[in-house]
Amino acid sequence: DVKVTQSSRYLVKRTGEKVFLECVQDMDHENMFWYRQDPGLGLRLIYFSYDVKMKEKGDIPEGYSVSREKKERFSLILESASTNQTSMYLCASSLDLGGGRRTDTQYFGPGTRLTVL
Amino acid sequence: DQQVKQNSPSLSVQEGRISILNCDYTNSMFDYFLWYKKYPAEGPTFLISISSIKDKNEDGRFTVFLNKSAKHLSLHIVPSQPGDSAVYFCAASEQGAQKLVFGQGTRLTINP
């Protein structure tokens, strides 16, 4: 079974702090994703990575950055946390079948509920 | 601009009856559609998918219907069970894309 783990289930930070959210997957997946989930807005893609050191902006990248130094680990960084970044953050990974073929099954971690005071 | 829309935030269904969850999309480049299920305090899990070359896909109690001309898909759960109570997300992707676009989610409650 694929396992995606996130470093914290709950996190409370203060405005202006630098925040690191870590995600690790154990299935050698090429693709990794960071989403945030907010009531009434569903899951919105922040950033994704299709290979080590590669990253692409999602739909709402402002205020965030990411790091992927190893294949199994994808970090989300809030350079200076703000109250509007209070949210549930979900990490996911998926396999790249190659040749332009797509794998649709994204495996999600349990989420980190971040509160910025 | 919400490309995938689930207009019903919540749905309540009696156990044993059919649950129908709806999803609309605006991007004509989407060619693959998925449903994910999410329990509280857990990440979403994949439920069922459908390619745009089909109009129906069935997996046990779950069936997804796709109406391309209307840019509409629906998830049918028959019969509904208490364990089906969860938030259901519709998602879509474009050909060749690795990323998914999700809807807002519908909270399904199955009443005994």
Least confident segment among A13-17, B51-55, B64-68: B51-55
Residue of B nearest to A58 (CA): B99
Check residue A16 and give its pLDDT: 97
Q: What is the 3-state secondary structure (H, E, C) of chain B?
A: CCCEECCCCEEEEECCCCEEEEEEECCCCEEEEEEEEECCCCCCEEEEEEECCCCEEEECCEEEEEECCCCEEEEEECCCCHHHCEEEEEEEEECCCCCCEECCCEEEEEEC
pLDDT category of residue A96 using cuts at 50, 70 and 90:
confident
Per-residue pLDDT tens for B19-61?
A: 999 999 999 999 999 999 999 889 999 999 999 999 999 999 9
Check residue A103 and give its pLDDT: 61
The answer to whether B40 contacts chain A (CB < 8 Å) is: no
Average pLDDT over residues A18-31: 94
pLDDT at B1 over 80: no
Check residue B85 and give its pLDDT: 97
Pairing of strands B72-77, A112-116: unpaired
The answer to whether B9 contacts chain A (CB < 8 Å) is: yes
Calculate how close chain B gets to A41, using CA atoms only, in Å: 5
pLDDT at A1 over 90: no
pLDDT at A99 over 70: no
Beta bridge partners of B37: B45, B88
The minimal CB distance from A42 to the residues B34, B97, B105 is found for: B105
Calculate how close chain A gets to B11, using CA atoms only, in Å: 14
pLDDT at A97 over 80: no
Per-residue pLDDT tens for B4-15?
A: 999 999 999 999
Least confident segment among A100-104, B73-77, B93-97, B103-107: A100-104
The minimal CB distance from A104 to the residues B32, B102, B103 is found for: B32
Return residues 36-75 of A near B (CB < 8 Å): 40-45, 48, 50, 58-59
Subunit contact A106:B100, Cβ cutoff 8 A: yes
